């Protein structure tokens, strides 16, 4: 190589190798320059203390949701709590919900997914029966005299500050009556229905009482089809209407709740809004010939944002 050629070679740029470190996923997303911390509590109950009430797809539901949140939506495994079967007692659920909402700051996203039995009973205030029904979730150790009511849930949600969001998925039934027949759809294995003891059921019979729904206590609401526009501090996607049951069904060689199965299927497509997600789930239920109609409740602003965003 001549002298001038050697000098010219010194000024040529050499290709640069960039080494990208393996950075672990962080439980933060960015919206408009603001960090959003995300936390989740997932509860799935197949096994109940009361004989004859066991289900089959609820544990699969929450494990599927956990995988989806971590693989598709950037949730950190350390910020997800899971309770299943005998560990999903009322005390443990309430303690984990307190963990979920404790120290919540504006910009935090909180997710609660419940898969199991739900019911409606006559509301009781002290020793007197109130004038309406109340929805309850049914933990493993369900106590009909001390149930997990909408009032308790509303109190938990109210602890969250403005600027945060509580996103609630309820794959359960909220049954007004006990005399509904099981669906003839061959997909059904068992509807998620639990029958109260006769004395509890008697309190709510034949009165046409208004139902207090989970997540709506103390808020105004208007209904448009299966979407309920509210001034809530949370967004609720529930498995069915008041008078319906939610299916515990067989899909792809295993059991799932029908709501959760179609919910995960929709979320993997990253729908543009919660309204679109709701429509996808409803379309799936209809195509599968399920007679349950999923319901969406939340503010007009929140339901028009993408799932798991503020």
Q: Which residues are annotated as catalytic?
A: 117, 173
Which whole-number Å values give the CA distances from 73 to 66, 67, 70, 112, 266, in the listed order? 10, 10, 6, 15, 13
Rg (C-alpha) for the chain, rounded Å, is 24
* Cα 191 from Cα 247, distance rounded (Å): 4
E strands, 16-150, where? 28-31, 34-44, 80-84, 108-115, 118-125, 128-137, 148-149
Question: Can you say how many angstroms the Cα of residue 69 is from the centroid of all Cα atoms in its chain?
Answer: 12
* Cα 258 from Cα 207, distance rounded (Å): 31
Contact 175, 245 (CB under 8 A): yes
| Lookup: tokens for 38 | 């995300």
């Amino acid at each position: 190589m001549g002298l001038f050629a050697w000098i010219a070679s010194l000024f040529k740029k050499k290709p640069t190798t960039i080494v990208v470190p393996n950075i672990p996923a962080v439980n933060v997303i960015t919206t408009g320059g603001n960090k959003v911390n995300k936390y989740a509590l997932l509860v799935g109950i197949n096994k109940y203390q009361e004989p004859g009430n066991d289900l089959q797809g609820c544990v699969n539901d929450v494990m599927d949701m956990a995988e989806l949140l971590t693989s598709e939506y950037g949730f950190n495994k350390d910020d997800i709590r899971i309770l299943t079967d005998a560990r999903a007692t009322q005390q443990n659920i309430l303690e984990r919900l307190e963990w979920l909402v404790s120290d919540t700051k504006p910009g935090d996203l909180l997710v609660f997914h419940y898969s199991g039995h739900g019911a409606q009973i006559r509301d009781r205030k002290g020793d007197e029966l109130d004038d309406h029904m109340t929805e309850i979730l049914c933990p493993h150790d369900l106590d009909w005299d001390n149930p997990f009511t909408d009032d308790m849930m509303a109190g938990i949600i109210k602890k969250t500050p403005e600027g945060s969001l509580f996103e609630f998925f309820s794959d359960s039934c909220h049954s007004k009556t006990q005399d509904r027949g099981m669906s003839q759809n061959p997909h059904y294995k068992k509807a998620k229905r639990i029958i109260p003891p006769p004395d509890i059921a008697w309190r709510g019979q034949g009165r046409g009482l208004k139902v207090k729904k989970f997540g709506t206590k103390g808020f105004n609401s208007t209904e448009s089809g299966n979407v309920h526009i509210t001034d809530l501090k949370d967004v609720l996607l529930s498995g069915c209407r008041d008078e319906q049951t939610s299916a515990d069904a067989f899909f792809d060689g295993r059991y799932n709740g029908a709501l959760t199965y179609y919910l995960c299927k929709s979320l993997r497509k990253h729908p543009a809004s919660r309204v679109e997600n709701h429509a996808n789930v409803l379309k799936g239920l209809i195509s599968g010939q399920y007679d349950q109609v999923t319901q969406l409740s939340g503010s007009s602003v929140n339901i028009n944002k993408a799932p798991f965003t503020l």
